[in-house]
Each structure stands twice: as structure tokens, then as C-alpha cells.
Structure 1
Amino acid sequence: MSRIEVVAPNFKKRLSGVTSTIIQLVPLQARMLGIATLGPGLPESLPKIRWWQVPLLLKRPQSGRKRIWHARRNVEMLAGLVLKAIFRAPLLLVFTSASQRRHKRWTRFLIRRMDGVIATSRKTAAYLTVPNTVVMHGIDTVKFAPPPDRDAAVEAVGLERVRNYVGCFGRVRHQKGTDLFVDAMIGLLPSRPGWSAVIAGRATAQHAAFEQELKARVATAGLSERILFVGEHSDIARWYKALALFVAPQRWEGFGLTPLEAMATGVPVVAADVGAFSELIEEGVTGQVIPRDDLAAMTKAAGRLMDDDVKRDAAGRASLERASKLFALQGEAEAIGAFYQKVWSTG
């Protein structure tokens, strides 16, 4: 505990985008400073403190400076505030905001009491009423990387080598726009025999009927062998390697990592203008950003790239370069580290 200078709480047991961020970032941050996680739902391989050690946060670490409590949810901001204001723990409170909507009064109350605030995109920053620093999410460019042989990558996940594949990955639900992707593929695939589509992701019990309706729609179109629902996969990086094009059809997103995962794999992206997508994609170079909830625009943009091998390949190369240069996970960890130094210097 004496060497821990940053605590990254995770108070949600179920896997979420926030939890995934912590899992990816903390090992890199641990190479730069003393950091530990606190809470359930995290791999045992991460540095962590246990609940019985929380009282030790009332003492400063051996460096003598205050610890940083880096929250990413309201409940974590509240816990840090209670420790600092009621129990007088020597803490500096940092919050990362990914939301792109006006915060509720309670959230604004908590944010105003933070010592430093990070926004994950310029769009997110626009909804904050306090000074903040933009640090965009990064991607593991070792895990998500182009395959040496895309045909072999296609075979490795059990797909047919003779086809090109366009993918849509993420939870299967209305918010994620899975129905828009299905309808676009129903419109595009009949005239493009060399292409098939892959939908990877889980439909929770609440959204099972939605998934079944989509499968029925595909069957009615006679495309059950070409629009594939492959379920949830822990090795999703292998599935990106099998793709020639990726579509992100979300109706709403806080940030959204799937376009970055595709780009880092050398796959061009057609994405709705939600989350940080317009800040990730270089329009007309690495892919195209289309209006939210616009099926016609999605179908047109995807079809254009499906039909132009030269343009698609060039966009794939540009995607890889952009993701590697601007959105490597190491860069995010370093930017957060620099922000911590700024907070320490003023707190």
C-alpha cells in the first residue's frame, strides 16, 4: 500500500466498456507508477487492493503526496468524495467522463467536486461545465493487428475462404443498430455473391426476441447462409482479422471502441455519427461517417466500399496507419499519466 499512488475503483461486477478500459490500461500504467484496482469483476492478474485495506487510504503513500482516486462512474466518484470529505483521506479525485448528453444534477454535483476531469472525446467535453482535458481511448495494437494472411484468418474462424466478409460486432440490440446492419445487408448481398456478413455479439435475455426477429427477417430474405449470427466470442480479435469491411451502425454510443479495433486490424469502417466515431475516422480516407439511424446512407456507403477493391484496400492501409499513430493504448496510458502529474502539481 505504501507504494500505491493511484487507485482505480471498479464497482460494477458485470463486464462493461468501463471495466474493459480498466483491464487494458492498468497493466500499462503499472509500468509507470504505483497503481492498484479496487472492486469486483477484474482479473486476478491486475494489481489490486482488497476491501480490508481501504482504511490504509487514510495515510499518504511513501512518496508523501496525496493518492489519486480515479473514478469512472458516479458511485465511484461518491465513494472517493466520502473518503476525502468525511474520513479525511488524503486523496485527489479524478473523473473520466464518456457521456455525450447533459448530465443530471447529481452527476454535476459530483463532478464539480473532482480535482481533475478527463473527457474521452471533444464531443464529451462539450457537455462538461468544468475545466477538463481530452484523452481519447486507445487500442491494443498488438492484439488488434492485420493478419499475415487474411484468407487463412478467414478459415481460422470457420468461414468460407472464397468470400469477403463485412462485420458488425457488439451487443445485439436496438441501441446498437443491429437491425440497420441486417437491413443494409439484405439490400446489398443479393447482388454481391462474393460477400457475406458476420454479426458477432450476445443478445441478453431482454433482447432475445429482437435477435430472433432479425434472424427471421434474414431467413425470409433467403440469406441465412450469408448473414451469420456467430454469437459472443472472447477471442474477437480473430474475427476482425477475417473482415474486409466493418460497419458500426449504433444509434447511441458513449465512445465506442469497435471502429478502432477494426482500424487497428487494417479494416476500413462505415460508422454512424455517434460517440467518438467522427473523431476516430478520417472521412473518405479510412472510411465514412454517416448520419445516425440512416439506413439508406449506410447501405450506400457500405456498397461503395464493397464494390471498389482498390479504394477499400487503400482505406484499410490508412486505417491501420491512423490507429497505430494516434490511438495506441500506450499513448492513452501516457496521456493519463501526464494528467496525473498535472493534478499532483496543483493539488
Structure 2
Amino acid sequence: MPSGPRMAACFIDPGEIDVIAPNFKRRLSGVTSTIIQLVPAQARLGARIAVVGPGLPAGLPRLRLRDLWRLWQRPRGGGVRIWHARRNTEMLPGVIMRDLLRMPLKLVFTSAAQRHHKGFTRFLIGRMDRVIATGSGSARYLKVPHTVIMHGIDTAKFRPAADKPAARRAVDLPGAVSDRTRLIGCFGRVRHQKGTDLFVEAMIALLPAHPDWMAVIAGRVTSEHAGFAAGLREKIAGAGLGDRIVLLGEVPDILPWYRAIDLYVAPSRNEGFGLTPLEAMACGVPAVATTAGAYADMIVPGVNGEICATDDGAGLTAAIARVLERGQAIAELGAGALETVRSRFAIEVEAEAVNAVYAGLLRQH
């Protein structure tokens, strides 16, 4: 990561807090990214909220783990606090604190999973006071009353490039890149679940007929998936496209890459919600995605991108081809993508809706 001044931890008196957003996972994940983006927006809209746990930036309002014992005391002004969990490892402590330790808490859970929940997860969800689903896909697997609130994007951070050729020159792209070069991006962990192989196969099929385009893949390759990544490199080399399909590995800042690309592809076989198409769309970039996660809730074919079935290599290739065949008219899809995010998926829209769930619970007590 780039070096810079370290921010001081912003510890909050528990008496001033109505809502706690726990994060009990050290490694950065989609859930962690959601908390990092959402909590400041919720605070700006009036929520008295703080995070607790590892793996979060120091600048967020936070509680120390040792302050959790003070949750027996009600916040100033009386009432209860809300414990907003997003994983089993956060629901369980909430249940223990409320039901066994008799702390004055109400429990909220956000579910992004698009699968049948196991018995223990169903038990924990059944103990929640309110449940939020992040999209129509995750809502289908909930057996309890719930509210659908889709994730949002910080549109002040994710915004279009003022000068696309300059944005391309600003990134460290291997090989010769001219102002005519156009980029297709696929960002995220490189593994089978994310469909990186489907993207590579689509690029091998399409790029020979589109000489001004090249593809960039950015994302971590863990030791467990090193063989998978090596196989992709062999396929690319075998197709003679080593200079046009580039695996960058993990980059320190993905934002410049979103601004540099002209088309984003999310080929996932399985996803929780999936923020990357929204991040691209907020930068004025159309997206092609599978129906994994909440992608089908974001993308309107022919308006801001294209959709295809999951685990369908031919369908993905055809969807990308439909966009490439638009030529310069791809810019119209980019404008549609930007409008979609700003009207429906701005982080403030999500923050306001989640805060309304909190307000409903707090009014009851």
C-alpha cells in the first residue's frame, strides 16, 4: 500500500452511540468494504454509529473491544442500542449479549448470501429483530420478514475520468498503449468462483477481431489458486495474446484502473452482492455481468451493459461482443451506467434506507 500519514484512531464514548457495526474478520472482504463505505455516510445522515473489531481504517468512529462491557449501560437519553451484524461471527455475540447477558440491544442482520442457509445460520437469523437483504436474489433464501436494501457506491470517490486517454496513460499498463487503445477490465480475486477463466476464454475468442482492444485482469492470486492462475497464463500465451491480455496481480489502488477502462466484465459463478460492477458504472463504464449476486438488479441490457447466465462461457462471450460491436456508441451505455448509479445506487440512498430501519427499532423503545 502507498505510504502516507497515519490517521489517529477515532474512539467514541459508548454513551454517545446508538448503533454498533461489528467487523470480526481481519482480511478485507466485500462485507468489510461495505462497512468502510457505509458507516461514514450513515454518520453524515445523523446516525450515532461506531464500528468495533479489526481490519478497519483508523479514521472510522469506533469502540474498543474492551468497551463492549459498557453496553449494559443505556446510551445517553435512554433507549436501546442496535447491533448490526453481517456475518454469523457477529450475529452470535449479539445474541449472547442480548439474551444471556441481558444487555439492552436490538439485533439487525444484513444477508447477502444467495444460497440456502445452514441450520445454525437460520437459528441466528431467527433471533434477529430486523433482517435486511441486499437484493432480490438473497431475499429469496430468507424465511423471515425482511427489507431489501441494495448496496451503494460513494459517487464522490468513484467518478468518471475527466480525460480517458490521460487516465489510461496514468496507469502502469505493460506494452505500447496509444490513445486509440481501449481497455476491458476484470477485477477481483483470480479464482474459479470469480469466473476469471471464462473472461480469459472470451478475450481469446474476441480480441483478434478487435485490434484496438486489450484486457486487464487485476486481483490477488492466493497460493491456493496459483495453479489456476498459471493455467490462465498458459492459455493466453498459447493464443499469442500475452501483450493484449494482462494479469496485473493485486494493485495498490484499483480506482485509477476503473477510470482507465472502457468496459467492465464481472464473470462470477457465485457472488454475495458484488460491488465491482457498480464501482465501474459509477466511473461511467458499462458492465457485462452474469446473474450472480445482485448483478441482475444493477444492469439493464442495452441501457447500461449486458447480462448473461452464470457459468456460460458462450453467453458471456456473446454479451461482451454485443457491447464491442457498438463501437463509439459504447459511450451511451457508459452514460446509462452513470445515471443508474447516481439515481439508484449512491451510498447515501443505502445509508438513508438502513438508518430508517434503525429509526423504526429505536422508536419502539
Q: Which of 58, 66, 86 in structure 2 is aligned with 1:44? A: 58
Matched, 1:269 2:283: no
Task: Provide TM-score, normalisation by structure 1.
Answer: 0.98
Provide, for residues 267-307 of structure 1, a one-character-per-residue CA deviation record: whole Å limited to 9, x for no partner: 11111111100000012211111011111111112122112
Give 1:19's aligned residue.
Answer: 32
Segment drifting more, 17-26 vs 300-309? 300-309
Checking the alignment, whether the CA contact within 8 Å between 1:141 and 1:264 is kept in structure 2 is yes
Partner of 1:190, secondary structure, is: helix
Checking the alignment, whether the CA contact within 8 Å between 2:264 and 2:287 is kept in structure 1 is yes
Matched, 1:218 2:236: yes
Matched, 1:312 2:330: yes
Checking the alignment, whether the CA contact within 8 Å between 1:172 and 1:203 is kept in structure 2 is yes
Give 2:115's aligned residue.
Answer: 101
Pairing 1:194-273 to 2, within 5 Å after superposition: 194-273=212-291
Matched, 1:193 2:211: yes
Partner of 2:229, secondary structure, is: helix
Matched, 1:2 2:15: yes
- What is the CA–CA distance in structure 1 between the aligned matches of 2:140 and 2:363, rounded to whole Å? 25
Shift of residue 158, structure 1, vs aligned partner: 2.8
- What is the CA–CA distance in structure 1 between the aligned matches of 2:306 and 2:271, rounded to whole Å? 17
- What is the CA–CA distance in structure 1 between the aligned matches of 2:240 and 2:203, rounded to whole Å? 12
Give 1:334's aligned residue.
Answer: 352
Identical aligned residues as a percent: 55
Shift of residue 310, structure 1, vs aligned partner: 4.0
Checking the alignment, whether the CA contact within 8 Å between 1:98 and 1:254 is kept in structure 2 is yes
Distance 1:192 1:345, change over 3 A: same
Partner of 2:260, secondary structure, is: coil
Give 1:111's aligned residue.
Answer: 125
Structure 1's unaligned 5+ residue stretches are none
- What is the CA–CA distance in structure 2 between the aligned matches of 1:227 and 1:310, rounded to whole Å? 22
Q: Which of 88, 91, 97 in structure 2 is aligned with 1:83? A: 97
- What is the CA–CA distance in structure 1 between the aligned matches of 2:300 and 2:138, rounded to whole Å? 19
Checking the alignment, whether the CA contact within 8 Å between 1:28 and 1:333 is kept in structure 2 is yes
Partner of 1:69, secondary structure, is: strand
Give 2:143's aligned residue.
Answer: 129
Q: Which amino acid aligns with 1:99?
A: A
Shift of residue 233, structure 1, vs aligned partner: 1.9
Aligned residues: 347
Checking the alignment, whether the CA contact within 8 Å between 2:193 and 2:270 is kept in structure 1 is yes
- What is the CA–CA distance in structure 2 between the aligned matches of 1:310 and 1:189, rounded to whole Å? 17
Q: Which amino acid aligns with 1:86?
A: L
Partner of 1:241, secondary structure, is: helix
Moved over 3 A (4+): none
Checking the alignment, whether the CA contact within 8 Å between 2:306 and 2:323 is kept in structure 1 is no
Q: CA RMSD in A?
A: 1.0
Q: Which of 183, 188, 198 in structure 1 is aligned with 2:201? A: 183
Shift of residue 174, structure 1, vs aligned partner: 0.2
